[in-house]
């Protein structure tokens, strides 16, 4: 099983979706990577909880 770090996972997801961000948004992402990781995790956790509640 391939081991992937949170940093690399979020970085990959951001690069895959770069077209969805404006130039200004992309600059913020680059300037505040720790904040972006936290927001990404919060979204992931919330989505997981919502999905589990539907079962």
Residue range 14-43: mean pLDDT, rounded: 93
Distance between the two ends of the chain, CA-based, in angstroms?
A: 28
55 — pLDDT class (breaks 50, 70, 90): low
Q: What is the pTM of this model?
A: 0.67
Evaluate whether 10 touches 44 at the Cβ level (below 8 Å).
no
The fraction of the chain above a pLDDT of 70, given in percent, is 93
Of 23 and 11, more confident:
23
Segment (H or E) for 18: none
Segment (H or E) for 36: helix 33-54
Which residues have a Cβ under 8 Å from the Cβ of 29 and sit 6 or more positions away? 14, 21, 36
Q: How many helices (H) and strands (E) does the chain have?
A: 3, 0
């Amino acid at each position: 099983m391939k081991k992937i770090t949170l940093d690399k996972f979020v970085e990959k997801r951001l690069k895959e979706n770069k077209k969805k961000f404006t130039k200004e948004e992309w600059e913020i992402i680059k300037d505040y990577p720790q904040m972006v990781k936290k927001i990404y995790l919060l979204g992931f956790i919330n989505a997981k909880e919502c999905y589990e509640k539907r079962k």
